[in-house]
Structure 1
């Protein structure tokens, strides 16, 4: 009840400050375009996003000099609850940020389809699928979010392994981990599952090395068999990794953000399934390990019929509220937020892999070069295809699997039931 009251108070404060409901008026007294657009997100307050926001605002102002744009940065841990309250009231910001996948698909009724506004951007930007539902696009992607497997090349060298030839099979991967741990004391995999998010990274990061191509395609399409040998093997490996000490100690009590990544950055683990966005990613790791020591490998093959690939989707994007007074104007702001100049600024300062495929990332180290090279052959991340409800259940069950309080079979039976509902 206290948390709900805090959310309500926060929303009331935003409303009092004019952070909600702002339709742009078509004309001001001078006969030119005027009015105001309000944007809700959780990035505009970050220092690493300042140049990105400034560039997007400048791009929009060039076409619409009389329109005021106000960004209201919300706390991420309360964002979707605040947004849900605004949606229920039928009034709120004109433009809203979303994560790709379930978070936006659960709320498309409150958004305007952007299909008529973004046609010329379809080829330049990647990641549209994560912001689409029933053949309509509801947000334009700003970043690509994926789950590369990063590794520490210096630890490979200390163990006498070739840092440029990581294992391609699960058996060889385990052998390399054993050698590294023996030589350096580092664990095989940094893991943080305090929030129940670690299993999402595990499923998507390793799944393409376990499921057949058909199983993978069926999963993304919604035809999921939670009892299949491949899916079961993903969760069995999760259990085995905990039981055999592949993870750092206390994985269930380690927060992913940012304690898990700190384990990898400190050299206490040789691998981590990380991100492509502006945290837990190649640029952050390079600050601690040096760019030349950050490697990227594909999922080790468990099933010989699997075809490893980079799991990625649209990361974050902006959509237009269905209640905005001027949809075309709000859509123009979304286009400015995904302009090449703005996205180049976000990539340069934050290291986020931008949705704009024309941005050159070839001079920023081997890790980002490898990631970008894998994008054309990449496939959607497995966990993004799940509903938010099923993701949350999977997180709770993954903690129980690691603690030994539930079997893999029982966990999968519950997930199958949730996914069907």
Structure 2
């Protein structure tokens, strides 16, 4: 650890869009206190930035070499676009990095890590235990295979209402979630890598089977009526809380997560499980579905910072398990650091999720698709849902977009 001399009044500036969010206040307060206690004479200055203009402002600042010392970013395309202005952190924070999941969202084209993830984005299924019991199902034994999931949905279909699953696909987001959830065991690790590279196509059997499952689940009455005309954020999740559907494909990030549902429905009224896939790939195990996840947000260090070592230690503290525990408790975010102590949080759902991080994590297939593919999948998923196209036709259209977005 680098300790600044009290005589050198150094300031480390952090840009972050959440600084003014009251739910994040305790996290930032503890990060600031820990940093300044470790570095007498140094100050951690957390500056809030406007969400809508953040990446434009940041790009301008970095180009003029006047940006902050520490940079907050969303994982994926936004973070990867910034790596040219950052330092790699692999050799700076090796002990911390070993404790993290979700790193691929912050890895540069050279394979090095440029941001330390603090939270995760990903998908699990949340379910209403009371509705399971009313349908004659064991609320403490959620499905672990596609056959079991089909039996669950058959039980709800026999009742008429509620729906087995919530579906709100007006923007096409539910189709994104379904792609990742259905792929979590359907694809081998190599196929996931091939998908990222554009070598596995929409018309190839593993992906085409997912498109077919999308059609079949709709035909088999898994969803409530009107799903293509309803919005996901936040209508779908509010309807789930009201009991319109027994299951919902929810999130691990900042909304539609364990804390929201347990707060609004009751800790003992909501359960969670990884969604089974329609097929199980050769390197997967039946009954142990994966959790599609990757880094949600994280912090990196500006290569033009005048105080690189201090900035690195600020990132270490912002991502430390002690400080992150406050963020998890107050916001419900799932931490990327697997050593965050959640024992003081009364949430069986969170405890289950934390237990899956080290052993069940799989790539988020839709996040490894190009933006153009996702736009086309939004459109094709709605046509498929309405019976206005076929799986073969949809796969052909998606292949064309993929070939343009990821030329081989």
Shorter-chain TM range is 0.7 to 0.9
User: 3-state SS of the aligned residue for 1:174?
Assistant: helix
* Distance in 1 separating the partners of 2:46 and 2:54: 14
Task: State yes or no: 1:225 paired with 2:207.
Answer: no
Once residues 386 and 62 of structure 2 are traced to their aligned partners in structure 1, the CA distance between those partners, rounded to angstroms, is 38
Task: Using the TM superposition, name which of 199-208 and 234-243 deviates more.
Answer: 234-243
Distance 1:230 1:268 in 2: 32
Cα deviation, residue 39, structure 1:
2.1
Number of the residue aligned with 1:3:
none
Call closer, same or farther: CA 1:45–1:172 in 2, change over 3 Å. Answer: same
Which runs of at least 4 in structure 1 moved beyond 6 Å after TM superposition? none
Say yes or no: does 1:209 pair with 2:185: yes
Any idea what the Cα deviations from partners look like across 1:343-399, whole Å, max 9, x if unmatched?
011111112221222223355333222212211222222223334454445445444
* Residue 399 to residue 67, structure 1, CA distance change in 2 (3 Å): farther
- Do structure 1's residue 156 and structure 2's residue 123 form an aligned pair? no
User: In 2, Cα distance between the equivalents of 1:45 and 1:243?
Assistant: 46
Q: Which residue is equivalent to 1:324?
A: 305
Task: For residue 207 of structure 2, give the secondary structure of its aligned residue in structure 1.
Answer: helix
1:16-165 aligned within 5 A: 32-133=7-108, 134-165=110-141
Aligned to 2:398: 412
Distance 1:240 1:322, change over 3 A: farther
In the other structure, the counterpart of 1:277 is 253
Q: Any conservation in 1 of the 2:101–2:357 contact (CA below 8 Å)?
A: no
**Is the aligned partner of 1:364 residue 2:346?**
yes
Are the structure 2 counterparts of residues 199 and 38 from structure 1 closer, same or farther at C-alpha, using a change threshold of 3 Å?
farther
Q: 1:294 to 1:215 in 2, by over 3 A?
A: same
Instruction: Report the Cα offset of residue 160 of structure 1.
Output: 0.7
| Residue among 371, 376, 395 paired with 2:358 | 376
Match of 1:349 among 319, 330, 342: 330
Which range is displaced more, 397-406 or 371-380?
Answer: 397-406
Q: Aligned partners of 1:313 and 1:54: how far apart in 2? A: 26
Is residue 2:369 matched to residue 1:386? yes
What TM-score, normalized by structure 2, do the two folds share?
0.86
Q: Which segments of 5 or more consecutive residues in structure 1 lack a partner in the other structure?
A: 1-25
The structure-2 alpha-carbon separation of the partners of 1:278 and 1:217, relative to structure 1 and needing over 3 Å to count, comes to: same
Q: CA deviation at 1:92?
A: 2.7
TM-score of the aligned structures, taking structure 1 as reference length: 0.83
Say whether the 8 Å CA contact 2:197–2:406 is kept in structure 1: no
Task: Point out the more displaced range, 41-50 or 135-144.
Answer: 41-50
Change (3 A) 1:376 1:120: closer
1:148 counterpart SS class = strand
3-state secondary structure, aligned to 2:144: coil
Q: Are the aligned partners of 1:102 and 1:386 in contact in 2 as well (CA < 8 Å)?
A: no
Distance change >3 Å, CA 353–CA 304, structure 1 → 2: closer
Determine the C-alpha separation between the residues in 2 that align with 1:315 and 1:48.
17
Q: CA RMSD in A?
A: 2.8
Deviation at 1:156, TM superposition (A): 0.7
Closer, same or farther: CA 293–66 of 1 in aligned 2, 3 Å: same
* C-alpha contact 2:101 2:358 (8 A) present in aligned 1: no
CA distance in 2, matches of 1:32, 1:193: 58
* Structure 2 equivalent of residue 291 of structure 1: 267
Q: 1:368 to 1:89 in 2, by over 3 A?
A: same
